Amino acid sequence: MNIISYNVNGIRAAVNKGFLQWLSECNPDVVCLQETKAQREQIPVLDFESLGFKCYSFSAKKKGYSGVAILSKQSPDKVVYGMGIPKYDDEGRFIRADYGDLSIVSVYHPSGTSGEERQAFKMQWLEDFRQYVQELQKERPALVLCGDYNICHRPIDIHDPVRNANSSGFLPEEREWIDSFLKSGYTDSFRFIHKDLPDAYSWWSYRANARAQNKGWRIDYCMVSDNISDRIIDAGILSQVKHSDHCPISLTLKQQ
């Protein structure tokens, strides 16, 4: 099973930049999208269906904001929209599709860059997300949690760890959360395959020619529950793909 995760920074904008042609050529089994920035009726479902993908989306109440989706070649056994926590579900941050024993999630973690209030919201989300996933795993043990986590884990994951030491997305408490999340039973699939590969990023600022100079951050992850980490065949970052300020990341799993 080939899985793509991609923060498209607006699905309609990405389509205008050639997203559909790329999707047709890439032809994955499942695509987890974040930051669709579209209401359900604004998502190009018919275009996806013409390429053989069924589309399941969960939008924010606020127009043009947040939103997640899953595109799938195979019909899932079940799709779950949201986490059942209104303050997060109102922002359209979580959708899950079940395939046999496997559950694939598209998740968009909040950013804290706009100020203290949103940083506090982000930290509360992180704790609530961890607890939600721990409960979910009792019912669905085999989890793949794909998305924009808005956190760089280690200095190797950011182009300038020194000057960004106090930046949201690389704060000590955020990095500690990733540490503890991994220790609670998850594998960062990219680092499972590429243990110490430097200069591997999934997001670049639009400012100061950052992408051309590869001054980026690795903030997108396909986290895999440890009990299925032996099914990881490959994981990568598709940095040459440019429809967004992020690029897609990939995960290939053995089918059971």
Q: How far is CA 163 from CA 170, 207, 220, in A?
A: 10, 16, 21
34 neighbors 105 (Cβ within 8 angstroms): no
pLDDT of residue 107: 99
Q: Could you tell me the residue ranges of all domains in the chain?
A: 2-253
60 neighbors 82 (Cβ within 8 angstroms): no
Give catalytic status of residue 108 as yes or no. Answer: yes
Catalytic residue among 56, 88, 99, 148: 148
- Give, in words, the CATH class of 2-253: alpha beta
pLDDT of residue 255: 84
Give catalytic status of residue 221 as yes or no. Answer: no
pLDDT of residue 167: 97
Q: Which residues of 224-251 are buried (b: 16+ CB within 10 A; e: fewer)?
A: bbeebeebbeebbbebebebbbbbbbbb
Cross-strand bridge partners of residue 99: 102
Per-residue pLDDT of the chain (256 residues; tens, 9 = 90+): 999 999 999 999 999 999 999 999 999 999 999 999 999 999 999 999 999 999 999 999 999 999 999 999 999 999 999 999 999 999 999 999 999 999 999 999 999 999 999 999 999 999 999 999 999 999 999 999 999 999 999 999 999 999 999 999 999 999 999 999 999 999 999 999 999 999 999 999 999 999 999 999 999 999 999 999 999 999 999 999 999 999 999 999 998 7
The reply to whether the predicted model has a pTM over 0.95 is yes
Nearest residue to 3 via CA among 192, 234, 239: 234
Catalytic residue among 88, 99, 108, 221: 108
**Residue 145 main-chain phi, psi, to 5 deg:** -110, 95
120 neighbors 162 (Cβ within 8 angstroms): no
Structure-block tokens of residue 247: 């690029």
Structure-block tokens of residue 151: 């956190």
